Chain A
Amino acid sequence: MSGSYGHRLEFGTFVTPVNASPDTPVALARRSEALGYDLVTFSDDPDQPAHLDTWTLLAWVAGRTDRIHLAANVLTTPMRPPALLARSAASLDLLSGGRLELALGTGESDRAPGGLAAVEALGGPALEPGAAVDALGESVDVVRAMLDAGDPAPVRYRGEHHRLDGAAGGPLPAHHIPIWLGGTDPRLLRLVGATADGWLSTLDPATPDAVRAGNKLIDEAAREAGRGPSEIRRLLNVSGRFTDTRQGFLHGPAAGWVEDLLPLVVEDGVGTFILITDDVATMERFAREVAPALREAADRALPAPLPRTAARSGAVRARRRPGIAYDELPASLADRAVEPGDIDYSRVKSNYLRGGAPGLVLRPRTPAEVADALAFARAHRHLPLGIRSGGHGISGRSTNDGGIVLDVGELNGIEVLDEARRLVRIGPGARWTDVAQALAPYGWALTSGDYGGVGVGGLATAAGVGWLARKHGLTIDHLRAVELVLADGRVARASETENPDLFWAVRGAGANFGVVTALEFEVDEVGPVGWAQFALDAGDPAGLLTRWGAAVEAAPRDLTSAIIMGPPRMGQPAVAQVMAMVDSDDPATIVAQLQPLADVAPGYDQQVVITSYASVMANASDAPHQAQGEPISRTGLITHLTAEFAAAAARLLTSGVVYFFHIRSIGGAVTDVDPDAMAWSHRGSNFHVTAFGRHRARLDALWDDLLTEHLSGTYLSFETDLRPERLTEAFPPRTLARLRTLKKRYDPDGLFRDNFAITPDTASRTTP
């Protein structure tokens, strides 16, 4: 007796892909979805002219359904070159949102005798049954290699039947596409045990022991290959008739079906039943009366209930990092969590500029799930903990190596609360380009950062220096309330009237106090804006910087600008990029305000357009972050771009240490706010300076030597230097003292410590 393999019990349908009325199989698939089936499958008989091509039908059905998973039952693999099959599978999986499963066969089976001859007649390869299984095994290898887009090396494969000579792998599918093999040939069963994720066969009531015999062969082959038999899901096509009285196996009332199928679950470990029928009434009755009763009966009969979520394979578990209790993740998080062996890992491990290798990425969808994630993190105090919204932060604190990342990307709603007050509620996982797009139809905008791909949560708890800063202030100046989960798992709301201390702290030091789950902003009316990009001569970098700085400070608040410079390059003129937004739709006003900027140096090129804030923010790629290594940056705030600062900056630029130098204007409306109103207190700063280099020590040495004396304060989101002085630059003594008192109240044990940790005020504590 093989017993249960511990898979979640699933149910599917098996629909004939008739082409005489092509809408019929599509309608049956949609009905399967509506009835709650997990899976709809179609036979694939390429030699059957009365049938639709199964792959075409699967893609069509993917376009007409939302939830149900899709598979052939089973695909005639010899008619499809495996490398192209892999690409097609990845495409269909991506287009369907991760709903494709691959069930492969040789074309020949008990259901389709003569399948190999049909393949040959159609122009496919001539294969004997043994060779057909070998070819199928090679196809599995090729498909797996092509889909493993985590490995960038070209795919080479030398088989008897299939050869790949440096094919480019990918694309990466949306989910791990399991490969199930269909058939009963003993050679195929051994292949299943050695490599497949599942075995798909058809129950013949005349030979009820065939499942058990097949399982035995598969389990032996799995153990020989060093795999656990439980890694292989057992899927069974079944057919029968509902009648009022019991007349035989799967021929009787629903209760009789449950009785007949139960031993297959409990004794033979079948994890998926696929009902062969084109009859809607049978489909309905099975879904409503058999499936739920069978689940209950199985849970009663088995020593432990079957899991409700999918289990991870041995290959995935083998890549787990030490010190993480993966199997103790609460059910609310387990399904969506990403481990190093998971398909989504390459999409979430790294940041915009910082490579990462976290041991576990948790992706909560609700504040309650955030609380669950923090409880898990509290049990893993020995590991780094990153909180990620958009993963853009230059500081890179939202990923780590071997630790936990709490990714709030799914908390990304954008909702207008009160149109008259322009009050908007935004989830921390939304990106600023999405926010700008959502607000544009109202004629509104919320100043953010300068890049649309930045996430809301990280920026709106730090400061938010964007293209409307001088006109409308910082992003945090627009914050009216936040909801967050605190270190101890409590959910709190903070505003000027509710937990005002916490509200004060979150606006500038939010990363130290909790995981924000919603933010409420009062946004601004912003119509069309002027948007300028100048390429200016930077042959005199110091003069350019002082003139640009003076022009910006003298400009009306409508104008916000930034300048980007690089090191001089041999034989090329030094060029600075100047960008500016003017919050006006009047061409004359725009030109008048831009002219002093354009005049700070001879120009090479200029572009001025009247556009929308949303268009300027639509500058972000949707591609997942793929950074490698560590970004090296230093950053600070400054009041005026004095001649002394500019000379020092010019020396930095010619040092060869810095490859990217960036100054953004602040000032204007930012200065209207009381420095003590929020934890971000640098209200006198007119500029934000950042430099990127390639060598940590050399950049630190030069920056400390040349620039630090000119700076007053810093902006931690851009800082990659982790030395403790950075914290005291970010928060002046009075602010830091208050933050330490509050840290003691809200996070006394320092759960949030990996993003420029504030140490709790321990003066009154008796234990260290």
Chain B
Amino acid sequence: MTDYGHDLLFGTFATPTVQPVRHAVDLAVVADRAGLDLVTFQDHPYQPRFHDTWTLLSYVAARTERVHLSANVLNLPLRQPAMIARSAASLDLLSGGRFELGIGAGAYWDAIEAMGGPRRSAGQAITALDEAIRIIREVWAADRPGGVRVDGEHYRVNGAKRGPAPAHDVNVWVGAYKPRMLRLTGRMADGWLPSLPYFQNGPAELTPMNEQIDEAAVAAGREPAQIRRLLNIGGEFSPTGRSLLNGPPEQWAEDLAGLTLEYGVSAFILMADDPATIEVFAAEVAPATRELVAEERARTAR
């Protein structure tokens, strides 16, 4: 039982397809109006069937009002960390504090190299992500004296001016599965963002990974609760319960509350490409899950 006690967030993960051009925009507007907390898009810059994620996030931010936005997760190797920092702060300022930075070390190295990016080993990719997060946080720290200096193996920033500071404390969420990435998450990140379909043995696989993150956090002098546990989920609404996240909305709420109370997951990001599913998730699943979790937290607090 590992509940880190965070408020629950509910979000979407829609395919950023370029055809129809406004598919992802329209679904984001649905999520915003339905009262969801978060809209996210995958980032695969080598995939011409998808929009450029940064451009899409910026455009969607301008077309929505309340919902927070993040890449899920941003592909680092084709972007300059200092530019990510400035762009993220800019989008946070323009959107009134609605941007969060989901970021990953990168994958599909053949495709990245084909696009003119670097090819990195697993170890190099993690080092590069570590350097990038340091640069990004340094750029955001507008009030600190002096320029940004990070002399890394992959990124060297030599005296760049600091700032701008984002409008709110932008969360850095890291997509991670392997031990070194989990340790980086525990050491540096504000959140951990894996995908449930990735776990062949189901949510039970979350437990040992949570432990690795917690250990790394403690070793770095942090509280494990400083790291929010987010989860991309897929599922189906059906009249009768069949399996995890395949059943009526009430069953979804019980499934998700279980993920919160047993595995500490406090953000559920639904892979969905149709408005009806998003609306049911927002109108029925989210409030019922919040209620179940609140009841159980109140019960155990007594």
Q: Which residues of A pack against B, CB within 8 Å?
A: 19, 22, 26, 46-50, 52-53, 55-64, 79-84, 87-88, 90-92, 94-96, 118, 120-124, 142, 149, 154, 162-171, 174, 622-623
In whole angstroms, how far apart are the Cα atoms of A90 and B49 in the complex?
11
Additional A-B contacts beyond A49-B164, A123-B160 (13; CB < 8 A): A19-B89, A19-B90, A49-B86, A63-B59, A63-B63, A64-B62, A83-B78, A91-B51, A95-B21, A95-B25, A95-B56, A121-B157, A142-B116
Question: Residue among B25, B58, B80 with the most chain A CB within 10 A?
Answer: B58
Interface string of B225-247 (1 = CB under 8 A from A): 00000000000000000000000
Given A56-B54, A168-B47, A170-B48; A46-B86 close (CB under 8 Å): yes
Q: Tell me which residues across on chain B come within 8 A of A60, comparing CB atoms.
A: 58-59, 61-62, 91, 94
In the complex the two chains form, is A49's CB within 8 Å of B161's CB?
yes
In the complex the two chains form, is B157's CB within 8 Å of A59's CB?
no
Shortest Cβ distance from A155 into B: residue: B114
Nearest CB of A to B63, in Å: 5
In the complex the two chains form, is B160's CB within 8 Å of A168's CB?
no
Interface string of B153-166 (1 = CB under 8 A from A): 00111111111100
Shortest Cβ distance from A82 into B: residue: B116
7 example contacts (A-B, Cβ-Cβ < 8 A) are as follows A79-B80, A81-B117, A83-B116, A88-B54, A95-B25, A123-B157, A167-B46
In whole angstroms, how far apart are the Cα atoms of A64 and B56 in the complex?
13
Q: Tell me which residues across on chain B come within 8 A of A19, comparing CB atoms.
A: 89-90, 93, 164
Which of A82, A165, A622 is the one whose CB lies under 8 Å from B113? Answer: A165
In the complex the two chains form, is B163's CB within 8 Å of A49's CB?
yes
B60 within 8 A of A: yes
Q: CB within 8 Å of A: which of B11-51? A: 18-22, 25, 45-49, 51
Q: Tell me which residues across on chain A come within 8 A of B94, comparing CB atoms.
A: 22, 26, 52, 56-57, 60
Shortest Cβ distance from B47 into A: residue: A168
In the complex the two chains form, is A122's CB within 8 Å of B59's CB?
no
In the complex the two chains form, is A166's CB within 8 Å of B62's CB?
no
Given A81-B115, A164-B116; A53-B86 close (CB under 8 Å): yes
Q: CB within 8 Å of A: which of B165-222? A: none
Q: Tell me which residues across on chain A come within 8 A of B104, comparing CB atoms.
A: none
In the complex the two chains form, is B114's CB within 8 Å of A167's CB?
yes
Which of B56, B83, B87 is the one whose CB lies under 8 Å from A91? Answer: B56
In whole angstroms, how far apart are the Cα atoms of A52 and B49 in the complex?
28
Which of B87, B93, B114 is the one whose CB lies under 8 Å from A154? Answer: B114
Given A19-B90, A171-B48; A56-B18 close (CB under 8 Å): no
In the complex the two chains form, is A123's CB within 8 Å of B81's CB?
yes
Given A60-B62, A79-B83; A91-B55 close (CB under 8 Å): yes
In whole angstroms, how far apart are the Cα atoms of A52 and B167 in the complex?
12
B142 within 8 A of A: yes
Shortest Cβ distance from B56 into A: residue: A91
Q: Tell me which residues across on chain B come within 8 A of A82, comparing CB atoms.
A: 116
Q: Tell me which residues across on chain B come within 8 A of A55, comparing CB atoms.
A: 54-55, 58, 87
In the complex the two chains form, is B160's CB within 8 Å of A56's CB?
no
In whole angstroms, how far apart are the Cα atoms of A49 and B82 in the complex?
11
Nearest CB of B to A602, in Å: 28
In the complex the two chains form, is A81's CB within 8 Å of B161's CB?
no
Closest 5 CB pairs of A and B: A63-B62, A49-B163, A59-B58, A170-B48, A53-B87
In the complex the two chains form, is B80's CB within 8 Å of A168's CB?
no
Shortest Cβ distance from B142 into A: residue: A49
Given A63-B63, A81-B116, A167-B115; A95-B86 close (CB under 8 Å): no
In the complex the two chains form, is A84's CB within 8 Å of B115's CB?
yes
Q: Tell me which residues across on chain A come within 8 A of B5, comparing CB atoms.
A: none
In whole angstroms, how far apart are the Cα atoms of A84 and B46 in the complex?
8
Nearest CB of B to A271, in Å: 27
In the complex the two chains form, is A63's CB within 8 Å of B60's CB?
yes
In whole angstroms, how far apart are the Cα atoms of A100 and B94 in the complex?
20
In whole angstroms, how far apart are the Cα atoms of A90 and B62 in the complex?
18
Q: Tell me which residues across on chain B come within 8 A of A53, comparing CB atoms.
A: 83, 86-87, 89-91
Question: Residue among B78, B135, B160 with the most chain A CB within 10 A?
Answer: B160
In the complex the two chains form, is B164's CB within 8 Å of A122's CB?
no
In whole angstroms, how far apart are the Cα atoms of A171 and B158 in the complex?
36
Q: Tell me which residues across on chain B come within 8 A of A623, comparing CB atoms.
A: 19
In the complex the two chains form, is A123's CB within 8 Å of B60's CB?
no
In whole angstroms, how far apart are the Cα atoms of A22 and B93 in the complex?
7
Nearest CB of B to A269, in Å: 33
In whole angstroms, how far apart are the Cα atoms of A103 and B153 in the complex?
32
Q: Tell me which residues across on chain A come within 8 A of B117, comparing CB atoms.
A: 81
Q: Tell me which residues across on chain A come within 8 A of B144, comparing CB atoms.
A: none
Q: Tell me which residues across on chain B come within 8 A of A169, comparing CB atoms.
A: 48
In whole angstroms, how far apart are the Cα atoms of A622 and B22 in the complex?
11
Nearest CB of B to A50, in Å: 7
In the complex the two chains form, is B164's CB within 8 Å of A50's CB?
yes
In whole angstroms, how far apart are the Cα atoms of A623 and B23 in the complex?
12
In whole angstroms, how far apart are the Cα atoms of A382 and B274 in the complex?
49
Shortest Cβ distance from B62 into A: residue: A63
In the complex the two chains form, is A123's CB within 8 Å of B82's CB?
yes
In the complex the two chains form, is B18's CB within 8 Å of A94's CB?
yes
B275 within 8 A of A: no
In whole angstroms, how far apart are the Cα atoms of A55 and B113 in the complex?
23
B52 within 8 A of A: yes
Given A49-B142, A61-B62, A92-B59; A121-B48 close (CB under 8 Å): no
In whole angstroms, how far apart are the Cα atoms of A166 and B147 in the complex?
38
In whole angstroms, how far apart are the Cα atoms of A94 and B56 in the complex?
10
B297 within 8 A of A: no
Q: Tell me which residues across on chain A come within 8 A of B160, comparing CB atoms.
A: 47, 118, 121-123
Shortest Cβ distance from A157 into B: residue: B116
Q: Tell me which residues across on chain A come within 8 A of B48, comparing CB atoms.
A: 87, 149, 168-171
In whole angstroms, how far apart are the Cα atoms of A169 and B48 in the complex?
7
Q: Tell me which residues across on chain B come within 8 A of A96, comparing CB atoms.
A: 59
Nearest CB of B to A78, in Å: 10
In the complex the two chains form, is B159's CB within 8 Å of A121's CB?
yes
In whole angstroms, how far apart are the Cα atoms of A454 and B45 in the complex?
34
In the complex the two chains form, is A622's CB within 8 Å of B19's CB?
yes
Question: Residue among B49, B51, B111 with the most chain A CB within 10 A?
Answer: B51
In the complex the two chains form, is A56's CB within 8 Å of B91's CB?
yes
Nearest CB of A to B148, in Å: 9
Nearest CB of B to A153, in Å: 13
In the complex the two chains form, is A88's CB within 8 Å of B52's CB?
yes
Question: Residue among A83, A149, A154 with the most chain B CB within 10 A?
Answer: A83
In the complex the two chains form, is B93's CB within 8 Å of A52's CB?
yes
Given A81-B115, A167-B46; A95-B83 close (CB under 8 Å): no
Q: CB within 8 Å of A: which of B53-105? A: 54-56, 58-63, 78-83, 86-87, 89-91, 93-94
